[in-house]
């Protein structure tokens, strides 16, 4: 960390009400402090909004623009009701992974809270968005707002042309598959809005041609029976994990505009995919840095004592962890980053055994490395220390449906550290949190039915809602859809079948 | 580097309105049901208010693929105080509840219905959805005609703001071509001659002279052509706007209510409910509409809104008195050629027995020919002579409708039936 050039003569003024000048003043100091720590961020854009606007933003998954859909309306109504009844406070901030990085400050916040939000969102989250490999790989911060504007207009146009009901049904179906509409391993190419638009027309034509190819085998059914090659040809040749992508490209009956909407939903899902995978890391990182930055400012003599107490109180609430409840990502993340810093600076004998690579390194470099190259699953697998497990008193419980009792499989002791860490790491692995469902087969020469396959993990069955979701798949696919659930021995244990919607 | 803070507080409120609309649209049926129930239960004074709407959670669910109960799972929790490895804990009865894990957090509260508040406007919107005054026609007005200004081609004069540049330039181009045509042809001919002359003997004086002469001529013609003005006042075209009279629709609704002694409190309440609905409907949906309130016992009297709904007065019953008064008022103030006239009457059907026949006569001979629509609501079950007489009428006239409403809950459906928009299925 670079040294402070000059200590201020007196702390910054600290009335509880904020003004634009004061926010600017604080922002400037926070920015300078962050710079001394070498935080690399997108430029910041601060926007002051009202509570109502905050609820608006909540409703459209935190984005400043989004296409219209009833589920966002539902979200808004629920948020508004809870807020009005005082059942929940609104988040102090929303920050958007865009370039420039947009951070919303709520009008109701006190000056202290605004400073906290700036440190948390504009330097914590912002640097995470810019640095973490998942965000770098999967999201394009500079074009997301443009893309959402495009999406909103496109959907609105479709509503006008094809009717609100039709678009709504399509979006419902797409949303049902949203979690299965992401590429987990393949990296998408980045396109600017202009390129995106230019490609749209090409794509529509091309896609339609592809589908026609698929169709072409239909009238030739009789002769193809004799063709041994096509009899064994599978389609898709390999199982596909991105259901929405598969449907966009291959569903025989979709119109070009419907394919484009499927694509829009898929793109949005892909944009949020990294966020879902880095909850602990992202929130922990932001919390760690607001804590660090504000503390440094206090040490430098910028912050008054009253302010310090106020934000610490809020900070303490944020990182509170109730025993036996779900882990609080803020608490876990904050504790882990703080712990890594401790291991770097003041390692114990145990740390030397567990983290030989971390001991006695520069904590800023080590932390930066950790932030950039991991996601929750691997971050916990790599960095969760025995000391932290003891502090959190973590233990793992095994729940086997065949047994009448839970079993404590490991606790925070020498014999259990590895196991607990592994179990927790798996808990954050999206691929085990969500069922593994893939496109298995399309009956090319018969009724064109689509077969999906669920591969069970630890013999966990699918939720009952599967049938409902399958109806949505059938609506998109246009023909019959089957879902097979396959256990670890490769046997099909259950099967769902949904008929094609009648048109 | 000072960064600008953007103040968004004044811009873009209610961004979610579109989403909310879509939400309401989707759950129209439940909302309608809630509105119907609300109207039944309400007092007259607070008819016009928002309403809580309940929608069962399951109707709102957005299904996704997820893990169900069963199988083997391992969960890590903090705060272990008493357990050691290998401990076994009995599961709570009723399956693996309490294991929550990943999916629990996003729904907020679980078991309750989804309840939300319908605003006053939305409530009224649903309330009067698909209703309209029947047989409304646009009638020409003599005294205060409305004018509408619209485009009507182009004219030769106008204000510069209305100048149509493209049209003007097109005219100028045409004029220039037309005026120069003959001269250009001459120039071409003369040039051809000049070329011929130049090919002849250059020393011949006569030919020299002719050449000079032709050249001068060509020069003159070229100057003439160049002299044609680029833009002439006659080229100018202006957008023309004309005003045409627009037929407007004006409507008057007559509300006739029986306040006689036989109308007990509950019946009066029913009648008032009906008129309140009607009144709200009219004032919400039609800006320019007159409402005339007439109440009667043995005598009829025109009253204002306040007295109509809230004053109490009783006596015997002569229904025809109201009809006569209505006819008088029409004659005085609402000429049928200028007004769409509607009538709505509520009564318990109890009438002085010689009067009912007269009511039918007045209606069929004097009032119905003037009215676009006349609705009669009886707020009692017993079918007395008024109902019978009116029954004859409804068979012959399609402008006349009659219904019975005996309980508060029937008022709204009856009202909807009477004022259903043509072509909308029930």
For residue A333, being part of any structural domain is answered with yes
Helices (H), A144-192: 144-162, 164-176
The contacts of residue A155 (CB under 8 Å, 6+ apart) are: A67, A68, A167, A171, A261, A264
Tell me whether residues A52 and B13 touch, CB distance under 8 A.
yes
SS3 content of chain A, % helix, strand, coil (to 5): 55, 10, 35
Q: Find the mean pLDDT for residues A177-188.
A: 79
The contacts of residue B389 (CB under 8 Å, 6+ apart) are: B356, B357, B359, B360
Q: What is the DSSP string of B82-131?
A: S--TT-EEEPPSSSSTT--TTGGGGGSS-SSPEEEEEPHHHHHHHHTTTB
The contacts of residue B17 (CB under 8 Å, 6+ apart) are: none
Tell me whether residues A178 and B64 touch, CB distance under 8 A.
yes
Cβ-nearest to A462 among B13, B67, B99: B67
Tell me whether residues B23 and A396 touch, CB distance under 8 A.
no
The bridge status of strand A93-96 relative to strand A101-106 is antiparallel
Tell me whether residues B19 and A69 touch, CB distance under 8 A.
yes
Same domain as A125, residue A24: yes
Same domain as A50, residue A78: yes
pLDDT value for A325: 86
C-alpha to C-alpha distances, A193 to A29, A56, A156, B142, B222, nearest whole angstrom: 36, 25, 18, 58, 56
Dihedral class, residue B159 (left if φ above 0, else alpha if ψ from -120 to 50, else beta): beta
Same domain as A49, residue A62: yes
Domain limit, last residue, from A407, A431, A455: A431
For residue A210, pLDDT over 70 is answered with: no
What are residue B400's DSSP bridge partners?
B374
Same domain as A421, residue A329: yes
- Tokens 């592809």 -> residue: A210
Tell me whether residues A464 and B65 touch, CB distance under 8 A.
no
Contacts of A468 in chain B (CB under 8 A): 61, 63
CA B109 to chain centre: 38
Asked if residue B303 lies in contact with residue B259, where contact means CB atoms within 8 angstroms, the answer is no
Closest-CA residue in chain B for A85? Answer: B116
Q: What is the CB neighbour count within 10 angstroms for residue B71?
A: 18
Q: What is the C-alpha to C-alpha distance for residues A50 and A190, in angstroms, rounded to an integer?
A: 34
Tell me whether residues B87 and A407 touch, CB distance under 8 A.
yes
- Tokens 């409902």 -> residue: A468
Same domain as A460, residue A410: no
pLDDT value for A225: 45
For residue A451, being part of any structural domain is answered with yes
Tell me which of A53, A85, A107, A476 to substitute to probe the interface with B (most B C-beta atoms closer than 10 Å): A53
Cβ-nearest to A463 among B1, B62, B66: B66
Same domain as A359, residue A287: no
Tell me whether residues B5 and A47 touch, CB distance under 8 A.
yes
Q: Nearest CA of chain B to the CA of A245: how many Å?
A: 17
pLDDT value for B142: 46
Q: What is the C-alpha to C-alpha distance for residues A284 and B216, in angstroms, rounded to an integer?
A: 95
SS3 content of chain B, % helix, strand, coil (to 5): 45, 20, 35
Q: Nearest CA of chain A to the CA of B26: how many Å?
A: 7
Same domain as A470, residue A401: no
What are residue A44's DSSP bridge partners?
A101
Asked if residue B252 lies in contact with residue B340, where contact means CB atoms within 8 angstroms, the answer is yes
Closest-CA residue in chain B for A428? Answer: B102
Same domain as A346, residue A307: no
Q: Nearest CA of chain B to the CA of A340: how many Å?
A: 19
pLDDT value for A296: 94
Q: What is the C-alpha to C-alpha distance for residues A47 and A145, in angstroms, rounded to an integer?
A: 15
ipTM entry: 0.80
pLDDT tens, residue by residue, A141-156: 888 889 999 999 999 9
Same domain as A396, residue A346: yes
Q: Nearest CA of chain B to the CA of A208: how many Å?
A: 28
**CA nearest neighbour of A395 among A407, A405, A403:** A407
For residue A446, being part of any structural domain is answered with yes
The more confident residue out of B5 and A292 is A292
Cβ-nearest to A53 among B8, B66, B77: B8
Cis peptide before B285 (omega within 30 of 0): no
**CA nearest neighbour of A49 among A81, A16, A95:** A95
For residue A439, being part of any structural domain is answered with yes
Which helix (H) or strand (E) element contains residue A80?
Answer: helix A70-84
For residue A456, pLDDT over 80 is answered with: yes
Q: What is the C-alpha to C-alpha distance for residues A461 and B73, in angstroms, rounded to an integer?
A: 11
Tell me which of B31, B64, B84, B88 to substitute to probe the interface with A (most A C-beta atoms closer than 10 Å): B64
Query: Please, what sign has the CA dihedral across residues A346, A350, A352, A357?
Result: negative
Closest-CA residue in chain B for A88? Answer: B108
The more confident residue out of A308 and B138 is A308
Q: Find the mean pLDDT for residues A187-215.
A: 64
Contacts of B66 in chain A (CB under 8 A): 434-435, 462-463, 465
Say which DSSP state A495 is in: E
Cβ-nearest to A406 among B24, B89, B115: B89
pLDDT tens, residue by residue, B67-77: 888 888 888 99
Cβ-nearest to B26 among A70, A468, A472: A70
Q: How many CA atoms lie within 13 A of B216 on its CB side?
A: 6
Same domain as A363, residue A453: no
Q: What is the C-alpha to C-alpha distance for residues A360 and B289, in angstroms, rounded to an integer?
A: 86
Tell me which of B50, B58, B63, B115 to substitute to probe the interface with A (most A C-beta atoms closer than 10 Å): B63
pLDDT value for B277: 81
**CA nearest neighbour of B128 among B228, B32, B248, B193:** B32
Domain limit, last residue, from A404, A431, A458: A431
Closest-CA residue in chain A for B20? Answer: A73
The more confident residue out of A285 and B315 is A285
Q: What is the C-alpha to C-alpha distance for residues B77 and A394, in angstroms, rounded to an integer?
A: 6
Domain coverage including residue A78:
20-132+278-311
Q: What is the C-alpha to C-alpha distance for residues A290 and A120, in angstroms, rounded to an integer?
A: 5
Q: What is the C-alpha to C-alpha distance for residues B31 and B20, in angstroms, rounded to an integer?
A: 13
Query: Please, what sign has the CA dihedral across residues A171, A172, A178, A180?
Result: negative
Domain count, chain A: 3
Tell me whether residues B114 and A73 touch, CB distance under 8 A.
no
Closest-CA residue in chain A for B93? Answer: A404
Tell me whether residues B72 and A434 touch, CB distance under 8 A.
no
Which stretches of chain B score pLDDT less than 50? Answer: 1-2, 95-111, 141-143, 426
Contacts of A420 in chain B (CB under 8 A): 76
**CA nearest neighbour of B252 among B194, B331, B193, B158:** B331
Dihedral class, residue A410 (left if φ above 0, else alpha if ψ from -120 to 50, else beta): beta
**CA nearest neighbour of A175 among A82, A74, A274, A252:** A74
pLDDT value for A420: 94
Q: Find the mean pLDDT for residues A285-292.
A: 94
Angle between helices A256-277 and A279-300 (to 10 degrees): 50
Query: Please, what sign has the CA dihedral across residues A241, A247, A252, A253?
Result: positive
Tell me which of B2, B4, B62, B74 to substitute to probe the interface with A (most A C-beta atoms closer than 10 Å): B74
Buried b or exposed e, range B381-394, using 16+ CB within 10 angstroms: eeebbbbebbeebe
**CA nearest neighbour of B2 among A23, A445, A50, A258:** A23
Q: Nearest CA of chain B to the CA of A221: how many Å?
A: 35
Q: What is the C-alpha to C-alpha distance for residues A333 and A279, in angstroms, rounded to an integer?
A: 9
For residue A145, being part of any structural domain is answered with no
The model's confidence at residue A278, banded by pLDDT at 50, 70 and 90, is: very high
pLDDT value for A352: 93
Say which DSSP state B162 is in: G
Q: What are phi and psi of A375, to 5 degrees?
A: -120, 175
Q: What is the CB neighbour count within 10 angstroms for residue A171?
A: 23
Same domain as A85, residue A62: yes
Asked if residue B426 lies in contact with residue B417, where contact means CB atoms within 8 angstroms, the answer is yes
Tell me whether residues A408 and B81 touch, CB distance under 8 A.
no
pLDDT value for A228: 47
Residue B418 in tokens: 């009477």
pLDDT value for B98: 42
For residue A248, being part of any structural domain is answered with no
Asked if residue B127 lies in contact with residue B36, where contact means CB atoms within 8 angstroms, the answer is no
What 3-state DSSP class applies to A412? Answer: coil
Tell me whether residues A47 and B23 touch, CB distance under 8 A.
no
Domain limit, last residue, from A431, A463, A489: A431
**CA nearest neighbour of B30 among B49, B5, B56:** B56
The more confident residue out of B399 and A426 is A426
Contacts of B12 in chain A (CB under 8 A): 53, 56
Of A301-305, A317-321, A405-409, B378-382, least confident by mean pLDDT is B378-382
Q: Find the mean pLDDT for residues A102-127.
A: 91
Same domain as A493, residue A412: no
Contacts of A20 in chain B (CB under 8 A): 5, 7
Helices (H), A139-278: 144-162, 164-176, 193-216, 221-224, 228-232, 243-250, 256-277
Q: Is the pTM of this model over 0.90?
A: no
Cβ-nearest to B80 among A73, A395, A468: A395
What 3-state DSSP class applies to A486? Answer: strand
Cis peptide before A236 (omega within 30 of 0): yes
What are residue B255's DSSP bridge partners?
B293, B344
What 3-state DSSP class applies to B201? Answer: coil
């Amino acid at each position: 960390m670079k040294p402070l050039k000059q200590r201020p003569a007196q702390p910054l003024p600290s009335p509880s009400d904020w003004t634009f000048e004061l926010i600017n003043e604080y922002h400037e100091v926070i920015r300078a402090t962050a710079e001394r720590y070498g935080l690399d961020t997108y430029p910041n854009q601060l926007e002051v909004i009202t509570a109502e606007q905050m609820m608006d933003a909540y409703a459209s998954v935190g984005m400043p623009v989004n296409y219209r859909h009833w589920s966002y309306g539902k979200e808004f109504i629920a948020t508004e009701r809870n807020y009005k009844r005082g059942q929940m406070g609104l988040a102090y901030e929303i920050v958007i992974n865009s370039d420039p990085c947009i951070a919303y400050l709520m009008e109701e916040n006190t000056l202290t809270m605004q400073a906290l939000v700036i440190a948390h969102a504009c330097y914590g989250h912002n640097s995470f968005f810019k640095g973490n490999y998942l965000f770098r790989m999967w999201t394009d911060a500079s074009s997301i707002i443009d893309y959402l504007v495009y999406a909103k207009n496109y959907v609105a146009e479709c509503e006008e042309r094809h009717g609100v009901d039709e678009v709504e049904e399509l979006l419902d179906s797409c949303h049902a598959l949203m979690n299965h509409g992401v590429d987990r391993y393949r990296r998408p190419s980045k396109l600017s809005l202009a390129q995106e638009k230019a490609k749209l027309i090409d794509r529509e034509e091309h896609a339609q041609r592809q589908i026609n190819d698929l169709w072409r085998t239909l009238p030739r059914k009789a002769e193809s029976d004799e063709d041994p090659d096509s009899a064994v040809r599978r389609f898709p040749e390999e199982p596909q994990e991105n259901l929405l992508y598969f449907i966009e490209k291959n569903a025989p009956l979709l119109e070009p505009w419907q394919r484009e909407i499927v694509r829009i939903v898929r793109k949005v899902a892909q944009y949020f995919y990294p966020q879902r995978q880095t909850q602990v890391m992202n929130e922990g990182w932001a919390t760690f840095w607001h804590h660090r930055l504000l503390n440094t400012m206090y040490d430098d003599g910028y912050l008054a004592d009253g302010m310090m107490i106020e934000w610490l109180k809020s900070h303490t609430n944020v990182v509170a962890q109730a025993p036996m409840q779900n882990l609080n990502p803020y608490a876990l993340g904050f504790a882990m980053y703080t712990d890594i810093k401790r291991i770097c600076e003041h390692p114990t004998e145990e740390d030397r055994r567990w983290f030989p690579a971390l001991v006695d390194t520069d904590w800023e470099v080590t932390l930066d490395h950790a932030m950039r190259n991991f996601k929750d699953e691997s971050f916990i697998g790599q960095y969760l220390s025995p000391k932290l497990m003891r502090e959190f008193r973590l233990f793992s419980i095994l729940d086997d449906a065949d047994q009448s009792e839970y079993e404590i499989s490991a606790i925070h002791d020498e014999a259990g550290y590895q196991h607990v860490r592994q179990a927790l790491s798996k808990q954050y692995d999206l691929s085990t949190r969500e069922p593994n469902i893939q496109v298995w087969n399309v009956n090319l020469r018969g009724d064109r039915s689509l077969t999906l396959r669920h591969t069970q993990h630890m013999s966990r069955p699918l939720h009952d809602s599967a049938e409902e979701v399958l109806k949505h798949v059938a609506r998109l696919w246009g023909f019959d859809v089957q879902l097979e659930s396959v256990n670890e021995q490769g046997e099909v244990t259950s099967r769902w079948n949904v008929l094609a919607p009648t048109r | 580097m000072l960064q600008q803070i953007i103040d968004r507080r004044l811009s873009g409120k209610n961004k979610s309105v579109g989403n909310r609309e879509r939400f309401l649209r989707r759950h129209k049926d439940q909302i309608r049901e809630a509105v119907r129930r609300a109207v039944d239960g309400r007092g007259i004074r607070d008819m016009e208010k928002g309403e809580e709407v309940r929608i069962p959670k399951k109707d709102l669910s957005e299904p996704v693929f997820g893990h169900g109960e069963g199988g083997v799972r391992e969960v890590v929790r903090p705060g272990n105080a008493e357990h050691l490895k290998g401990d076994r804990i009995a599961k709570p009865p009723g399956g693996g509840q309490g294991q929550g894990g990943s999916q629990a957090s996003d729904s907020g509260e679980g078991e309750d219905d989804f309840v939300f508040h319908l605003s006053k406007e939305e409530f009224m919107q649903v309330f009067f959805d698909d209703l309209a005054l029947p047989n409304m026609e646009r009638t020409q007005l003599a005294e205060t005609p409305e004018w509408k200004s619209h485009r009507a081609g182009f004219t030769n004069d106008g204000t510069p703001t209305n100048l149509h540049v493209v049209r003007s330039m097109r005219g100028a181009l045409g004029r220039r071509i037309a005026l120069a045509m003959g001269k250009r042809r001459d120039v071409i001919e003369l040039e051809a001659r000049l070329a011929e002359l130049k090919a002849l003997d250059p020393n011949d004086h006569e030919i020299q002279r002719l050449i000079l002469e032709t050249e001068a001529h060509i020069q003159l013609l070229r100057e003439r052509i160049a002299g044609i003005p680029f833009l002439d006042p006659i080229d100018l075209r202006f957008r023309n706007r004309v005003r045409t009279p627009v037929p407007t629709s004006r409507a008057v609704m007559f509300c006739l209510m029986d306040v006689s002694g036989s109308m007990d409190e509950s019946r009066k309440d029913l009648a008032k409910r009906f008129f309140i609905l009607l009144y709200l409907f009219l004032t919400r949906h039609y800006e320019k509409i007159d409402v005339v309130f007439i109440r009667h016992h043995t005598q009829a009297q025109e009253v204002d809104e306040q007295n109509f709904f809230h004053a109490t007065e009783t006596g015997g019953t002569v229904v025809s008195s109201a009809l006569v008064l209505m006819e008088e008022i029409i004659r005085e103030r609402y000429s049928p050629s200028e007004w769409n006239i509607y009538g709505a009457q509520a009564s318990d059907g109890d009438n002085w027995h010689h009067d009912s026949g007269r009511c039918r006569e007045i209606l069929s001979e004097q009032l119905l020919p003037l009215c676009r629509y006349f609705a009669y609501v009886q707020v009692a079950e017993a079918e007395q002579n008024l109902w019978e007489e009116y029954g004859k009428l409804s068979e012959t006239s399609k402008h006349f409708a009659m219904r019975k409403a005996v309980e508060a809950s029937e008022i709204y459906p009856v009202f909807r039936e009477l004022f259903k928009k043509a072509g909308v299925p029930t």
